[in-house]
Amino acid sequence: MTKHLIRVIFFLVITIPVFSQTRPGKAIPNDWFLRDPEMDSLQGVSAERAYKTLLKGQPSRTVIVAVIDSGIDIDHEDLKSVIWTNEKEIPGNGIDDDKNGYVDDVHGWNFIGGANGNVNADTYELTREYIRLKAIYGNADESKLNKKQKAEFENFKKIEDKYTKLKAKNEQQYRLYSSLYNNVLHSIDTMKSLLGVDTLSPEALKGFETTEPGLLFAKGFLLNMYRNIGEDGSLEEYVEELKEGYDYYGVIVKYGYNEFYDSRKIVGDDVNNPNEKYYGNNDVTGPDATHGTHVAGIIAADRKNDLGIKGIADNVKIMPVRAVPNGDERDKDIANAIYYAVDNGANIINMSFGKSFSPEKEIVDKAVHYAEKKGVLLIHAAGNEAEDIDVEKNFPTRMYADGKEAKNWMEVGASAWGADDEFVGSFSNYGKKSVSLFAPGVDIYSTVPGSKYKNESGTSMASPSTAGVAAILMSYFPELNAEQVKGILMNSARKFDNLKVQKPDGGRVNFNQLSISGGLVNAYEAVKMAQEMKNQKALVK
C-alpha cells in the first residue's frame, strides 16, 4: 500500500490542461456574455442592452443559423423550440420528399454517420496524411526519386517526425493520467473504507490517526488537496476533472494518432471520391452532442421559456449539420455540410472547428465560394493553440488557394469578462491579419445534452457569440446582406485605447494588435450602426 500511495502523490503534482481562467473575487453571472460593460461592468456582447433599448418593440424575421458541429440535442428543453424543421420532408417515411438527395432530413443531416451507426472519434489529419505518404514513401530509396518525388519525400519525413513525436508525447500523457485517475480513485476509496464514511471531508481526515507512513502521507496530501480546492470546490469535482483528462488523452491515443483506425467503414462512402455528396444519415444528435449543443445554446437558446439560459438571438432557427467528430473533421464532410446548409436556406453558418492540415482544401474552397455567391455569412473559430495564425496554419480559412479572399468570412478569437491582463483567453489563437475580432469565449454557460447546462471555454464559444450577434442584425435588418453584416460587426466592435493584455503565447501586447478590427463584438453598437444605415437609405429615397 505504501508504494501505491507514494505513486499517487507523485502523479498528483500534474495539473489538468483545461481552458479556464481564474475568476475575480466576486461571482460572475452565468449570463455574463450577454451583458454590457457600462450597465454591468462585464465585457459581454451587450445583447441585453440592445434588446431593452434599441430593439424594444421592433419587428424581426426568422433567421436560419446552421451549426456545423458534433451534433445537437434537438430535444433539449432550451433548444427544442428553436430547431429548424424541413417542412418539405415527411418524417420517417423513408422517402426523399423534397428531392434534395437526403432521405428524411427533417432537422438537418449527418455526414459522419451511415446505415449502421455514427462516427464518434476519428483520427487527426496529421495521422491521415502520414498514412497516405507512408504508403508511397515509407520504403522509398531517396536516390531513385525524381525532383518532384524528393520534395514530397522531404515533406513525408517532416510529417513522420511530427507524427511520431506527438504520438509519443500524448501516449505518455495518457499513461500519466490513467495512473493518476485510477490511483486517486483507489486511494479515496481506501480512505473512505478506513474511516467508515461514504463521503470524505477534511474533518474526517483530520480525525484519522495512523502511524503507517503511506497513510500518513495520503492523509496530509488529501488535506492539502482540500486546501487547494477551496470552499467553492469539491473533491468530486477534482476527480471529475481528472477523468476528463483521462478520457481526453484516451481518445487521442486510441483514435487520434492511431494509424490503424478507419472511421469511414461506418460511413460507407467512397473515400477516394472527394466530390461525393449523398452519404450519411439523418441522426443530427449523434453519440456525443456536447460541443454542438453548447454552441447552439449560445446562439439561440429559448429567450422566452424561463428555463436555463437565454441565447443571444431571439428569432432564430438552428439547423444542425453533423460533420465534426472527436478528432479532425474531413474536408469532404465540411464541404458537403456547407453546401447542405446553403441549399436549405441558412443565412449564417457557424463553424467551431479547425485543424492544421487540409489535404483537399480545394473542395472546401469551392463550397466557401458557393456560400459567398449565395450571400451566406460564414463564422469560424480561430482555434485554441495560443498561436498567431498569421504565421501558423489553421483550416478552413477565408483565403482561397489562388490568394483571393472570401468576403463573407469572419474569424473569431476568444475574450473573457474583464478589461485586464486576462481579457484574452489564454488559449486563444490570434492574428492581426487573420482574426476578424474577439468575442466572449471564457467560462460560457450554455446548454449540454440531457437538458443540462455547463461552463465551457474556447474559441468554439466565441464563434457562436459572434454568430448570435450577426443573427440579430439579419433578423431585425433583413435588407442587410452578409458582407454588410460583417462590415457592421467589424466597424462597431468595442475598442480599448492602449489596453495591454497578456498575449496567449507569452508577453504583453496592445489588444488592438491581436485582430483586424482590434475590437470586441458589440451588439448594441452594431444595432445602432445598422439603424443609422437604414435611416440614411430612407432619406436618400
DSSP state, 107? S
Predicted confidence at residue 233, as pLDDT, reads 66
**Neighbour tally for 254: CB within 10 Å:** 12
> What cell numbers appear for 128 in the block?
491521415
- Residue in 316, 462, 312, 457 with CA at minimum distance from that of residue 382: 462
Fill in the DSSP letter of residue 327: S
Residue 464: is the preceding peptide bond cis (ω within 30°)? no
Residue 10's pLDDT is 38
250 near 229, Cβ under 8 Å? no
List, in sequence order, every residue forming a beta bridge with 502; answer none if it has no partner: 508
The pLDDT tens digits of the residues spanning 79-103 come to: 999 999 999 999 999 999 999 999 9
- Cα–Cα distance list, 216 to 184, 191, 193, 230, 506 (Å): 15, 11, 15, 22, 40
Of 23, 41, 15, the residue nearest 422 (C-alpha): 23
Exposure string for 404-440, b = 16+ CB within 10 A, e = fewer: eebebbbbbbbbbbbbeebbbbbbbbbbeebbbbbbb
Rounded distance between C-alpha atoms, residue 227 and residue 222, angstroms: 9
Helix%, strand%, coil% for the chain, nearest 5: 40, 15, 45
Q: Looking at residue 242, what is its pLDDT?
A: 87
Q: What are phi and psi of 402, to 5 degrees?
A: -85, 5
Contact 523, 312 (CB under 8 A): yes
- Crossing angle of helices 482-491 and 459-476, in 10° steps, is 120
Q: Do 327 and 353 touch, CB atoms closer than 8 A?
A: no
Which residue is associated with the grid cell 427533417?
Answer: 106
Q: Which sign, positive or negative, has the C-alpha torsion 62, 64, 69, 74?
A: positive
| pLDDT the model gives residue 264 | 95
Query: Along the 541 residues of the chain, how does pLDDT read in single tens digits?
Result: 333 333 343 344 433 444 445 455 568 899 999 999 999 999 999 999 999 999 999 999 999 999 999 999 999 999 999 999 999 999 999 999 999 999 999 999 999 999 999 999 999 999 999 999 999 999 999 999 999 999 999 999 999 999 999 999 999 999 999 988 888 888 788 888 899 999 888 888 889 988 888 888 878 877 877 887 776 667 788 888 889 999 999 999 999 999 999 999 999 999 999 999 999 999 999 999 999 999 999 999 999 999 999 999 999 999 999 999 999 999 999 999 999 999 999 999 999 999 999 999 999 999 999 999 999 999 999 999 999 999 999 999 999 999 999 999 999 999 999 867 779 999 999 999 999 999 999 999 999 999 999 999 999 999 999 999 999 999 999 999 999 999 999 999 999 988 999 999 989 999 999 999 999 999 999 999 999 999 987 665 5
Angle at 419 between CA 413 and CA 420, to 5 degrees: 100
The predicted structure's pLDDT at residue 192: 87
Cell numbers describing residue 538: 430612407
Distant-in-sequence, close-in-space partners of 273: CB < 8 Å, separation ≥ 6: none
**Unique residue bearing C-alpha cell 479532425:** 328
Kindly list the distances between the CA atom of residue 77 and the CA atoms of 74, 120, 232, 370, in Å, as whole numbers in the listed order: 9, 24, 28, 34
Share of the chain above pLDDT 70, in %: 94
pLDDT of residue 231: 66
What's the pLDDT at 237? Answer: 83
Q: What is the pLDDT of residue 342?
A: 98
For the chain, the straight-line distance linking the first and the last C-alpha, in angstroms and rounded, comes to 85
Residue 369 is inside which H or E element, if any? helix 361-373
Q: What is the pLDDT of residue 238?
A: 81
* pLDDT computed for residue 232 by the predictor: 66
Residue 336 near residue 307, CB atoms below 8 Å: no
Q: Cβ atoms within 10 A of the Cβ of 304, count?
A: 8
